[in-house]
Structure 1
Amino acid sequence: MGMFLQARANELVGGGLMALVIPGLPVGILFSETRTALEFELLGSTLMGMANMGLVSKEKMDCFNLPVYFPSLEELKSIMERNREFRIEKMEAISHPKMKTEPKQCISGIKAVFEGIIGKHFGSNVTEELFEQCSIKAAEPSVLLLDTDMRTLHVLLVILKRNGNGNA
């Protein structure tokens, strides 16, 4: 995040504003306690199943990693405050209302975000089968994606102002 902020500081004029919208964890909640963790677990188990069936290379499976991290608001604030290029103008966590989400919607969201990364690593021919199998698994009664009491990630909204008044 520090490198990202430095790069943006090089692009932004003094006094300029930057808005960041970042998925984050509610205070006191572990990632493993969120619906997103269940979605990632479903994706991983489906990929593993495809590897066991020979549809995906086990070697590619072993070296696959999704580069995601979900900070808490406090953690993000600490990172932002260490940066000397920006000043925090506004920062807040926005929680999603608890609502019933159909399994296909959950899988479509994962697909929208990660299809490119997965396709590049495993080949684009794998992605359609992967997300089709995920949709089938997600609809099974034992999968808790429909549980409206599962915690969801917050949306962390941050408005930063570039220090200084010169040009970038």
Structure 2
Amino acid sequence: MEVMQVLHMNKGEGETSYAKNSIVQRKIISVATSIIEKAVEECLEKNFLDSMGIADLGCSSGPNSLMVISDIIDTVYATSNRKGIPLPELRVSLNDLPGNDFNNIFISLPEFYSQLKMEKNIGPEGCFISGVPGSFYGRLFPKKSLHFIHSSSSLHWLSQVPRLLDSNILKPLNKGNIYISKTSPGSVLDAYLSQFKRDFSVFLKSRSEEMVVDGHMVLSFMGRVSTDPSSEESCMQWELLAQALMSMALEGLIEEEKIDSFNAPYYAPSAQEVRSVVEEEGSFTINCLEAFEIEWDGGAPSNNNFQKHIDKIEKDNFSRGQQVAKTIRAVVESMLEVHFGRKIIDELFKRYAQVVGDYFSRTSAKNIDLVISLTKKG
């Protein structure tokens, strides 16, 4: 699978779009706000800047795309005022893969600039926003051009499916699974970890070349606190999606071989795995590394239209299952459509909502969000 070509969040503003189904990602951004603000403040404390380079990597599209940038600008503005120094010129780069819906972001820029001018008297001549399409697993920006980098809900995506899995299509190593599970052999777990280490190391090396000394970076991505890569906290959403796919295979709606040959280009690392790669690569100092629990549906309120004549607990589970299915569909539909075809997608996510709702009836369901703050070494 050519991840760079097929991975993108659902475009536009329709019912299955990422723009309308990204409340979980917004929650992830919000829990990291204080860490982001501290990093920006420290960046300005160490540097008197005429021009400040800022990048958001994996910006996607929709209302979340400019939310982080707005928060960063707020912090730069407040810190500059407190220190009594001129506001630096802001060079803001929004990055994602080429298939991203950049037009959705650009259309919202006039309103963003208007609000910036009204609230802070910052015009377009003081804040330059541009789109930078490309993979962050490699260089994206000129050397020493960035002072602050942010990335949220992106680095759990790998640059490719682990080579070992991609090269054994005729004899699948991870039969019946689409990601790591309790039934996956050790070789599959090792392959995913190796791919993550390679990718994250390349990411860090690339950013180190693009950042100034004492530049700061805050990264948030799905992870785990368990040492076991097959633990429910990092694998269950994929496990349930595999169950939905297998139920369709049993009815002849999908070939089981198609499921066996699909492997998600994704890895949820442990905090220790993240720390180990950072220390081995050597370009950054870790300021903090924290883990947060995030509910699968982001704590979204349930739809009250379902309240009548249905037991509240069952209704909540059903409604939350639907919400999770919409969230996951907005993120992975592009990959699934390329592999399985367009016609199975609606039925697949109908079934996925049901199995997720059933899972909610048995247990609480939370993801682990890792947030790491880093400083570029001298």
TM over 0.5: yes
Check if 1:79 corresponds to 2:277.
yes
Structure of higher CA gyration radius: 2
Q: Classify 1:136/1:8 alpha carbon distance in 2 versus 1 (closer, same or farther; 3 Å).
A: same
Whole-angstrom distance in 2 between the partners of 1:110 and 1:97 = 13
Task: Say if 1:26 and 1:153, in contact at 8 Å, map to a contact too.
Answer: no
Give structure 2 stretches of 5+ with no counterpart.
1-199, 300-315
The normalised TM-score by structure 2 is 0.38
In structure 2, the partner of 1:68 is 266
Q: Classify 1:149/1:30 alpha carbon distance in 2 versus 1 (closer, same or farther; 3 Å).
A: farther
Give structure 1 stretches of 5+ with no counterpart.
none
The secondary structure found in structure 2 opposite 1:120 is helix
Report how far residue 52 of structure 1 moved.
Answer: 3.1
In structure 1, the partner of 2:374 is 160
Whole-angstrom distance in 2 between the partners of 1:130 and 1:97 = 22
Report how far residue 158 of structure 1 moved.
Answer: 0.7
Count of residues paired in the alignment: 159
In structure 2, the partner of 1:25 is 224
Percent identity, aligned pairs only, is 32
In structure 2, the partner of 1:109 is 327
In structure 2, the partner of 1:124 is 342
Report how far residue 32 of structure 1 moved.
Answer: 3.0
- My pick for the range that moved more, 90-99 or 44-53, is 90-99
Task: Say if 1:47 and 1:61, in contact at 8 Å, map to a contact too.
Answer: yes
The normalised TM-score by structure 1 is 0.77
Residues 87-123 of structure 1 show CA distances to partners (whole Å, capped at 9, x for unaligned) of 2122211234797762112222322322222122222
Whole-angstrom distance in 1 between the partners of 2:322 and 2:249 = 23
Q: Which amino acid aligns with 1:62?
A: D
In structure 2, the partner of 1:145 is 360
Residues 65-103 of structure 1 show CA distances to partners (whole Å, capped at 9, x for unaligned) of 112222222221122111222221222112347977621
In structure 1, the partner of 2:310 is none
Deviating runs (4+, > 6 A) in structure 1? 97-101
Report how far residue 157 of structure 1 moved.
Answer: 0.6
Task: Say if 2:295 and 2:367, in contact at 8 Å, map to a contact too.
Answer: no
